[in-house]
């Protein structure tokens, strides 16, 4: 069995895919954003509830149709950012991008996020892992602007 | 020319296993075919010792290059069943060919409220140009629907014909479903109803003789690189009477007759539609590719493919949770399978198989409209060429079985 495949499809990833956290509808969402990867058909829909006065991402849900990497990444992402202030959310997005670029030592990550580190060995799949995060960035940027 | 030794694989340098390296299994013929050595050699030979431009020099090298370039044009005409090589235009590919018809013929002839028809099967290259033409001209753009097996809604088709469509764009073989629509019959019906009929033959050209000399089509487009030839080259065949009235859309050297200060006259067809220096090396490579295909013969090719399809249904059909799209076993099918596997996303399947050095394609294969109809965001596709074997099909099935087990392990 390929070592790389085991690194990519760690149990944590498959667990998040089969049992995604924060999956579903958010009725009092303050913004929604959809991300789509035309090359492969991955689709992610985010619903955010932001408190502008506190500058906080109070709650987040996602829906979508995509590969295990995309869906697991979305699930892990929602756990990372839910309840955080928006500055921290932005920092986490950049941190994940750096992780995908190979600029972060995965051993320094304690949460399930570290499980996504294996994606960087499969360059074609990096887009799948990034899709939810880039969609989140657009949503947060829009919240900041309005 | 003699019949080719039927050990087809031996002709393909990419399939020669390097010492110590596990062999790689290429199952993406529908994206681009592997190239026989004769094609590689023809391109290298031109680039290394026959280089000269065409139609420009009076020295021998240029004359030779020009002669071989034009001979290839005649060879293409024979390959597609046309008696008139002046109706063959070299382009940069199927996409370029179809776009040219949409621009040169479409922009000049389509009026507001005209009806343009595509089918649900179409590749983006035979869908988007027509959609955009309709938008530009305020014409109506409608889609002939099909079912999961790629069978058209015949009632809708008859209704369409009654409305005298201006353009009907068809596909000779679906790159996703493998279905071979009855394009000869449909083309004749559409032309009888007054339509310009455009055939996307990208997937059909390596599989059977086209009907350029017949009465079913007005334009045929296909790519060299899917018929064992080099990339960057395609063919547009179009009826001479249409070409003679079409204004060129690309201007420059090679397509002119007299260039005055304020006006220019055009070269005769087909040069009129080949501006600039053509992809000469690729054309010569294409000549070798056509020779390769003709020396095997379409009958042998179809028999080989039918064998692979039969094997495919047998071994893939046994995979638990597999859903094969397109016509069922026993119906004619191009040598490809697009499928879904329960519990495994196409991307994950393709990545897993890639680690096994099996190359398949995952995604929507440039057919978002069709995948919407199928109700899936993506499929996995394995497609076969003359170099593929039933062993390859079995290895593919084995790889999929292992992938399903791998992903099932996390189920509680």
**Confidence bin at B20 (pLDDT 50/70/90):** low
**Confidence bin at B18 (pLDDT 50/70/90):** low
DSSP-assigned letter for residue B233: -
Q: Which residues of chain A have pLDDT under 50?
A: none
Secondary structure (3-state) at B146? strand
Task: State yes or no: pLDDT of B280 exceeds 80.
Answer: yes
**Confidence bin at B4 (pLDDT 50/70/90):** low
Task: State yes or no: pLDDT of B243 exceeds 50.
Answer: yes
Give pLDDT, residue B410.
Answer: 58
Do B163 and B191 touch, CB atoms closer than 8 A?
Answer: no
SS3 assignment for B109-169: HCCCCCEEEEECCCCHHHCHHHHHHHHHHCCEEEEECECCCCCECHHHHHHHHHCCCCEEE
Per the document, the length of chain B is 412
DSSP-assigned letter for residue A85: B
SS3 assignment for B322-378: EEECCCCCCCCCCCEEEEEECCECHHHHHHHHHHCCEECEEECCCCHHHHHHHCCCC
Distance CA B321, CA A89 (A): 40
Known catalytic residues of B? 366
Give pLDDT, residue B251.
Answer: 97
Give pLDDT, residue B114.
Answer: 98
Give pLDDT, residue B5.
Answer: 57
- Min Cα distance A145 → chain B (Å) is 32
Question: Looking at beta carbons, which residues of chain A come within 8 Å of B355?
Answer: 2, 4-5
Task: State yes or no: pLDDT of B412 exceeds 50.
Answer: no
DSSP-assigned letter for residue B23: P
Task: State yes or no: pLDDT of B1 exceeds 60.
Answer: no
The helix (H) or strand (E) run that includes residue B143 is strand B140-144
Task: State yes or no: pLDDT of B362 exceeds 60.
Answer: yes
Give pLDDT, residue B16.
Answer: 84
Do B80 and B235 touch, CB atoms closer than 8 A?
Answer: yes
- Bridge partners of A64, per DSSP, are A44
Dig out the tokens for B338 from the structure.
Answer: 């697009």
- Residue in chain B closest to A15 (alpha carbons) equals B410
Distance CA B373, CA A96 (A): 35
Do B178 and B147 touch, CB atoms closer than 8 A?
Answer: no
Give pLDDT, residue B6.
Answer: 66
* pLDDT more than 90, % of chain B: 92
- Min Cα distance A138 → chain B (Å) is 23
Mean pLDDT of chain B: 95
State pLDDT tens for residues B200-231. Answer: 999 999 999 999 989 999 999 999 999 999 99
For residue B379, which of B402, B355, B361, B394 has the smallest C-alpha distance? Answer: B361
Any chain A CB within 8 A of the CB of B365? no
């Amino acid at each position: 069995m390929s070592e790389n495949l085991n690194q990519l499809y760690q149990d944590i990833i498959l667990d998040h895919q089969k049992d995604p956290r924060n999956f579903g509808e958010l009725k009092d969402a303050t913004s929604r954003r959809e991300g789509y990867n035309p090359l492969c058909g991955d689709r992610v829909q985010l619903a955010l509830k932001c408190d502008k006065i506190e500058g906080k991402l109070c709650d987040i849900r996602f829906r979508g149709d995509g590969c295990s990497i995309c869906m697991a990444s979305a699930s892990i992402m929602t756990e990372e950012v839910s309840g955080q202030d928006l500055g921290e959310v932005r920092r986490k997005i950049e941190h994940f991008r750096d992780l995908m670029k190979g600029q972060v030592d995965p051993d320094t990550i304690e949460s399930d996020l570290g499980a996504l580190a294996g994606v960087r060995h499969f360059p074609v799949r990096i887009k799948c892992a990034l899709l939810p995060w880039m969609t989140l960035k657009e949503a947060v940027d829009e919240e900041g602007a309005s | 020319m003699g019949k080719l030794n039927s050990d087809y694989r031996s002709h393909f340098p990419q399939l020669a296993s390097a010492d110590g390296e596990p062999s790689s299994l290429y199952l993406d013929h529908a994206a681009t075919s592997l190239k026989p050595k004769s094609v590689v050699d023809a391109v290298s030979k031109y680039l290394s010792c026959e280089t000269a431009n065409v139609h420009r020099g009076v020295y021998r090298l240029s004359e030779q290059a020009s002669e071989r370039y034009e001979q290839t044009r005649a060879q293409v005409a024979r390959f597609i069943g046309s008696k008139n090589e002046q109706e063959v235009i070299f382009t940069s590919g199927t996409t370029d060919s179809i776009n040219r018809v949409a621009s040169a013929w479409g922009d000049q002839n389509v009026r507001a409220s005209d009806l343009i028809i595509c089918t649900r099967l179409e590749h983006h290259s035979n869908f988007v140009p027509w959609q955009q033409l309709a938008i530009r001209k305020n014409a109506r753009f409608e889609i002939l629907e099909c079912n999961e097996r790629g069978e058209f809604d015949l009632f809708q088709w008859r209704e369409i014909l009654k409305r005298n469509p201006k353009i009907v764009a068809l596909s000779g073989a679906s790159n996703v479903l493998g279905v071979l629509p009855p394009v000869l019959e449909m083309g004749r019906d559409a032309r009888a109803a007054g339509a310009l009929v455009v055939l996307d033959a990208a997937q059909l050209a390596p599989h059977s003789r086209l009907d350029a000399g017949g009465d079913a089509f007005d334009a045929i487009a296909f790519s060299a690189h899917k018929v064992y030839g080099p990339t960057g080259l395609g063919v547009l065949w179009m009826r001479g009477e249409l070409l003679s009235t079409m204004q060129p859309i690309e201007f420059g050297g090679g397509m002119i007759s007299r260039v005055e200060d304020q006006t220019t006259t055009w070269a005769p067809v087909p040069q009129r539609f080949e501006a600039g220096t053509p992809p000469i090396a690729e054309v010569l490579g294409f000549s070798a590719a056509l020779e390769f295909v003709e020396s095997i013969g379409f009958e042998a090719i179809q028999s080989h493919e039918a064998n692979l399809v039969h094997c495919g249904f047998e071994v893939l059909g046994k995979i638990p949770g597999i859903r094969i799209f397109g016509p069922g076993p026993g119906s004619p099918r191009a040598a490809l399978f697009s499928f879904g596997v329960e519990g495994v996303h196409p991307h994950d399947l393709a990545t897993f198989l890639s680690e096994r050095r099996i190359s398949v394609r995952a995604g929507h294969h440039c057919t978002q409209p069709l995948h919407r109809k199928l109700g899936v965001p993506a499929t996995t596709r394995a497609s076969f060429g003359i170099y593929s074997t039933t062993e390859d099909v079995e290895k593919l099935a084995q790889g999929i079985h292992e992938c399903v087990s791998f992903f099932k392990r996390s189920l509680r």
